[in-house]
Structure 1
């Protein structure tokens, strides 16, 4: 079985050219869930990754999870703003994104509230087992 990786940031910023925040309505949630549905319908296992703010993505993704007949797993990386800024500093392709911009986007524990949602601590390592 093939695995498809759907990157929220790529679809939102590159394909749709949307650079909004969690407070600005965008087409991205519908586009991303439609893309995910198409991949699932084609028989792919799908990894959907990104900063999926619940203000825009909660209901489209909860619906997607509810209608999917197979298993669905939801993970949240619980990383402090300070650690997020430190990790971001090592990404040369995103130098245009400032610390102030990231402070405005940062939402701690922005969980979807679905059954089995797993919170991963920033101190966890690759050896930590998750499902």
Structure 2
């Protein structure tokens, strides 16, 4: 049975970095990574507006992953107002075999982290503030909060332990 791993939080909170490291830490060929930014910004080139086509594509990619991989990792900001129904449908599709992680990182810390990224040339504080979603959790049973006090290795180990049921 496939397991869905959701990494959700604001821009520059560490989701993408964590997702990529998680993918590399799992057995080769056992996992698939779906990045909201990759699908929405790079594949489809659409804005994150209601009913944008990225919702359907992300859902279809997750369905494919559910049939073909042991782990499906989904990461992104994923506004709960816009994406909650999709995640509820994925929860059912994966028969509740879901681990959800919310990156609860302060705006100040995300700005600091963002300043060291290549994306800092594309957008800055003003845009990040306009996207900011305070405590925008899915509220799935067992949702785990990641804080800025946890270092990258600690976060990765927490997710791996939870994912594998250790």
Same fold judged by TM-score > 0.5?
Answer: yes
Equivalent position of 1:103 in the other structure: 129
Equivalent position of 2:42 in the other structure: 14
Paired residue secondary structure (2:98) = coil
Select 1:91's aligned residue among 94, 101, 117. 117
CA-atom RMSD in angstroms: 1.7
CA distance in 2 between partners of 1:108 and 1:86 (Å) = 18
**Structure 1 residue 78 and structure 2 residue 104: aligned?**
yes
Matched length:
128
Shift of 1:30: 1.8
Normalised by the length of structure 1, the TM-score is 0.88
Select 1:122's aligned residue among 123, 148, 151. 148
Query: Which 4+ runs in 1 deviate beyond 6 A?
Result: none
Instruction: Tell me if the contact between 1:4 and 1:47 (Cα under 8 Å) persists in the aligned partners.
Output: yes
Normalised by the length of structure 2, the TM-score is 0.71
**Structure 1 residue 63 and structure 2 residue 89: aligned?**
yes
Paired residue secondary structure (1:127) = helix
CA distance in 1 between partners of 2:35 and 2:42 (Å) = 10
Q: How far does the alpha carbon of each residue in 1:6-63 deviate from its partner, in whole angstroms, 9 at most, with x for none?
A: 111100100010133xxx2212122111111111112341111111110111111111
Higher helix proportion (structure 1 or 2) = 2
Q: How far does the alpha carbon of each residue in 1:51-109 deviate from its partner, in whole angstroms, 9 at most, with x for none?
A: 11101111111111122136210000101111111111111244111210110101121
Segments of structure 2 that go 5 or more residues without pairing to the other structure are: 1-28
Instruction: Tell me if the contact between 1:78 and 1:121 (Cα under 8 Å) persists in the aligned partners.
Output: yes
